[in-house]
Amino acid sequence: MKLFIKFDINTICSLYLKHNLDKQNINFTSLGFGEIEIADNLDADALETLKNNLSPCGFEIVENQKSVLVQKIKDAIIELVFMEDSNNYKSSVFLAEKLNHSYGYLSNVFSEVTYSSIENFIILQKIERAKQLIIINEMSLTEIAFLLNYSSVAHLSTQFKNTTGITPSAFQRIIKKRRENLK
């Protein structure tokens, strides 16, 4: 039997975060996108424990202010890409409004920290989303292109190939065979 499971990373992450914080009896309010506000100040030991508890799943407490901003940018981009009506937004405007900084500033900080551009990251995320949709195999490539705000299938295919080096159909074929191979 083969099951395709659709999951929401954000929900998983917040549940995992809540689980760990609750374990240490830390009183907190979630601000979303990996940002939490803790009612009392944590001592160094408690912070270290939290850090260690979170690390197995790749969670990291971001200390640097710029890194925090980059994380926020990333979260915002993910939100944008996963939004049903993302078509209505221009990404630069969306990010500037959402994070209360000029797009130029965000762009600079982002490339400084990640050595890549916001545009590239958006493309990466969109292609990532496209990959998920292709694997679920519920939509045609045309529908996926429309959902992800591409002007045409060709545009999506080209960007897919430029980003991953392979065509959407080859990707679908490879993943399918890889799963069969695992059985």
**Which residues of the shown chain bind another protein in the complex (CB under 8 A)?**
9, 13, 58, 74, 78, 114-116, 121, 124-125, 128, 131-132, 135, 153-154, 157-158, 161-162, 164-167, 169-171, 173-175, 177-178, 181
Judged by beta carbon, residue 27 or residue 30, the one nearer another protein is: 30
Judged by beta carbon, residue 25 or residue 165, the one nearer another protein is: 165
Judged by beta carbon, residue 93 or residue 170, the one nearer another protein is: 170
Minimal distance in Å, beta carbon 67 to another protein?
A: 10
Minimal distance in Å, beta carbon 57 to another protein?
A: 10
Judged by beta carbon, residue 15 or residue 174, the one nearer another protein is: 174
> What are the beta bridge partners of residue 28?
38
* Residue 4 three-state SS: coil
Minimal distance in Å, beta carbon 34 to another protein?
A: 10
The CA dihedral of 71, 72, 77, 82, to the nearest 10 degrees, is 100
70 vs 44: CA distance, rounded Å: 25
Going from the C-alpha of 9 to that of each of 6, 33, 40, 151, 159, the distances in angstroms are 10, 11, 28, 28, 24
Minimal distance in Å, beta carbon 150 to another protein?
A: 13
Residues 6+ apart with CB under 8 A from 122: 77, 80, 81, 91
